[in-house]
């Protein structure tokens, strides 16, 4: 199950107290903010936080060093201390982690705090027992980011650096800890629970599969405005990727397919069948050859003046889309008739060659969508025309290499990894990034799959993203001999 503790090497989390657990306000601080920040970074503060000077002597030295009266400095520090509160939502997240990973995972706190500040913090009304121990600079006589601070804590706990994860909001602190071999999570910017779970639970595939199973038949698409859409295309993608019919809710068609399951949402009361969903449905499901020939004959009848196959099976809409063409060509390749769509094939070849996909297409706003569905088309092309397949594979490989490392959402990253594997490119960093983006519930984010062109309404599907992420990670593991 998801909650199983999978990483025996990791023994503990070390949580920074200030700015994570403890929050404070600048209200009442009379010193200029830049001056106050300089004070915090000063040598006098370092000595005081290590317990080497009294608070009175500390204020006197700051007055001398920065040209303010000791009373002004005391007023500012008192205001900060008096405003200190505990972020209970953060504490709740730590409770959830303890509940998930059990007693095997210890949670410690650490901070650069004077004796007076730490005493004030401990007086706050919260359950401090969540921490197995709290390490503060004024108690141990050293402070972060000094390497000796982290070494001292590890020594006291008889722990190796690789057994610890540090969560901090200060890059200098993380740099020091990680340079010793500890792992680090920079906060904020990520969900602590998500980041820790991804580090500790070493089986992202199992977690992803559990997510799919727990949400079987409910893996609907959702617009980025929150509207749920029951549709066939995403369900077909999930089925093709996982091979598990029990996960999906498909309204099957014998001949041409409709995007929507049931009455259309967003669109008018009538939505014509389309060649995108039809092609995907007819490649995922096997149909009698006679029926498939009828479908392909219909596609040939709906081409624009350039000879390129249209998206919809109607005279009322005449859009063309290179991703749709890739999918139609996959269908024609499956049944050995791809040469009948030479104009569509030549067009997608030029789209790939000229990088015309870079700003997305009518229905697919992300560049990776075209590259993925092109790679899928090549799978169907290879048995019929190895020479053309080799030429197009080489070109696709060049275009994919250009995209590696470019930040994208989890769906685009997953299909980029899959497309790369189709042409023999393995980049472990991409799959590592994909694993890091896994959500705490085991699934991946909605992502952007396609859009309603006329409305510019973007649509995603967590089931699709999760299915493709699992496939991408599995391919990556296989490529490096882990499966």
Residues 6+ apart with CB under 8 A from 291: 254, 255
Q: Under CATH, domain 12-24+84-200 is a member of which superfamily?
A: HAD superfamily/HAD-like (3.40.50.1000)
What was the pLDDT predicted at 5?
38
More confident position, 257 or 196: 257
Q: Give the lowest-confidence range in 134-143, 149-158, 267-276.
A: 267-276
pLDDT, mean of residues 368-372: 98
What was the pLDDT predicted at 1?
28
Binned at pLDDT 50, 70 and 90, residue 34 comes out as: confident
pLDDT, mean of residues 368-388: 97
What was the pLDDT predicted at 200?
79
Binned at pLDDT 50, 70 and 90, residue 410 comes out as: very high
What was the pLDDT predicted at 482?
61
Mean pLDDT for the chain overall: 92
Is residue 462 scored above 90 in pLDDT?
A: yes
pLDDT, mean of residues 442-448: 95
Is residue 308 scored above 80 in pLDDT?
A: yes
What was the pLDDT predicted at 161?
95
User: Do the domains spanning 12-24+84-200 and 204-479 agree at the CATH topology level?
Assistant: no
Is residue 2 scored above 50 in pLDDT?
A: no
Is residue 16 scored above 90 in pLDDT?
A: yes
> What would the pLDDT profile of 53-77 be if each residue is shown by its tens digit?
999 999 999 999 999 999 989 999 9
Strand partners, 109: 15, 134
More confident position, 454 or 376: 376
Residues 6+ apart with CB under 8 A from 179: 147
Strand partners, 274: 312
Domain ranges in the chain?
12-24+84-200, 204-479
From residue 230, alpha-carbon distances to 219, 268, 362, 460 in Å are 9, 15, 21, 12
Residue whose pair of structure tokens reads 């998500």 in the numeric block: 194
> What would the pLDDT profile of 211-249 be if each residue is shown by its tens digit?
999 999 999 999 999 999 999 999 999 999 999 999 999
What was the pLDDT predicted at 455?
77
Q: Which CATH class is domain 204-479?
A: mainly alpha
pLDDT, mean of residues 81-105: 90
Residues 6+ apart with CB under 8 A from 360: 366, 367, 369
Is residue 4 scored above 60 in pLDDT?
A: no
State how far the Cα of 328 lies from the Cα of 340, in Å rounded to an integer. 11
> What would the pLDDT profile of 248-301 be if each residue is shown by its tens digit?
999 999 999 999 998 888 766 678 999 999 999 999 999 999 999 999 999 999
Is residue 387 scored above 90 in pLDDT?
A: yes
Residues 6+ apart with CB under 8 A from 46: 143
Is residue 9 scored above 90 in pLDDT?
A: no
Is residue 205 scored above 70 in pLDDT?
A: yes
pLDDT, mean of residues 102-127: 93
What was the pLDDT predicted at 189?
73
3-state secondary structure the chain: CCCCCCCCCCCEEEEECECCCEECCCCCCCCCHHHHHHHHCCHHHHHHHCCCCCHHHHHHHHHHHHCCCHHHHHHHHHHHHHCCEECHHHHHHHHHHHHHHCCCCEEEEEECCCHHHHHHHHCCCCCHHHCCEEEEHHHHCCCCCCHHHHHHHHHHCCCCHHHEEEEECCHHHHHHHHHCCCEEEECCCCCHHHHHHHHHCCCHHHHHHHHHHHCCCCCCEEECCCCEECEHHHHHHHHHHHCCHHHCCCCCCCCCCCCECCCCCCCCCCCCCEHHHHHHHHHHCCCCHHHHHHHHHHHHHCECCCCCECCECCCCCCCCCHHHHHHHHHHHHHCCCHHHHHHHHHHHHHHHHHCHHHHCCCCCCCHHHHHHHHHHHHHHHCCCCHHHHHHHHHHHHHHHHHHCCCCCCHHHHHHHHHHHHHCCCCCHHHHHHHHHCCCCCCCCCCCCCEEECCCCEEEECHHHHHHHHHHHHHHHHHHCCCC
What was the pLDDT predicted at 483?
57
> What would the pLDDT profile of 173-191 be if each residue is shown by its tens digit?
999 999 999 999 998 877 8
What was the pLDDT predicted at 43?
93
Is residue 380 scored above 50 in pLDDT?
A: yes
State how far the Cα of 300 lies from the Cα of 292, in Å rounded to an integer. 12
């Amino acid at each position: 199950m998801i909650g199983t503790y999978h990483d025996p090497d990791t023994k503990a989390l070390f949580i920074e107290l200030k700015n994570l657990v403890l929050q404070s306000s600048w209200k009442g601080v009379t010193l200029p903010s830049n001056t106050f920040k300089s004070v915090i970074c000063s040598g006098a503060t370092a000595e005081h936080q290590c317990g080497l000077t009294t608070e009175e002597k500390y204020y006197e030295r700051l007055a001398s060093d920065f040209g303010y009266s000791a009373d002004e400095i005391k007023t500012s520090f008192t205001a900060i201390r008096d405003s200190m509160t505990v972020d209970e939502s953060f504490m709740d997240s730590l409770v959830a982690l303890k509940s998930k990973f059990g007693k095997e995972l210890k949670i410690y706190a650490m901070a650069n705090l004077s004796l007076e500040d730490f005493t004030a913090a401990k007086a706050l009304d919260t359950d401090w027992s969540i921490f197995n121990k709290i390490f503060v600079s004024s108690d141990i006589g050293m402070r972060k980011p000094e390497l000796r601070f982290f070494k001292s804590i590890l020594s006291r706990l008889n722990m190796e650096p690789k057994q610890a994860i540090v969560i901090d909001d200060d890059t200098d602190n993380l740099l020091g800890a990680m340079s010793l071999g500890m792992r680090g999570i920079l906060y904020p910017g990520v969900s602590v629970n998500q980041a820790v779970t991804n580090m500790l639970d070493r089986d992202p595939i199992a977690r992803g599969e559990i997510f799919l199973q727990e949400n079987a038949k409910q893996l609907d698409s959702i617009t980025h405005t929150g509207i749920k859409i029951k549709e066939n295309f995403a369900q077909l993608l999930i089925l093709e990727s996982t091979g598990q019919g029990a996960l999906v809710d498909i309204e099957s068609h014998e001949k041409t397919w409709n995007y929507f399951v049931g009455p259309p949402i967003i669109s008018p009361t009538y939505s014509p069948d389309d060649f995108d969903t039809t092609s995907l449905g007819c490649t995922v499901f096997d149909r009698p050859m006679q029926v498939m020939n009828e479908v392909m004959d219909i596609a040939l009848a709906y081409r624009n003046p350039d000879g390129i196959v249209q998206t919809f099976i109607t005279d009322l809409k005449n859009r063309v889309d290179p991703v749709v063409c890739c999918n139609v060509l996959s269908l024609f390749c499956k049944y050995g008739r791809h040469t009948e769509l030479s104009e569509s094939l030549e067009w997608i070849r030029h789209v790939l060659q000229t990088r015309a996909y870079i700003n997305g297409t009518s229905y697919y706003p992300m560049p990776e969508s075209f590259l993925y569905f092109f790679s899928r088309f090549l799978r169907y092309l290879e048995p019929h025309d190895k020479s053309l397949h080799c030429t197009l594979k080489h070109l696709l490989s060049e275009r994919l290499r250009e995209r590696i490392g470019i930040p994208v959402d989890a769906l685009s990253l997953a299909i980029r990894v899959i497309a790369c594997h189709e042409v023999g490119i393995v980049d472990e960093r991409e799959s590592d990034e994909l694993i890091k983006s896994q959500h705490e519930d085991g699934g991946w984010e909605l992502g952007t799959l396609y859009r309603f062109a006329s409305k510019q309404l973007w649509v995603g599907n967590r089931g699709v993203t999760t299915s493709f992420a699992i496939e991408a990670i599995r391919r990556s593991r296989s490529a490096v001999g882990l499966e």
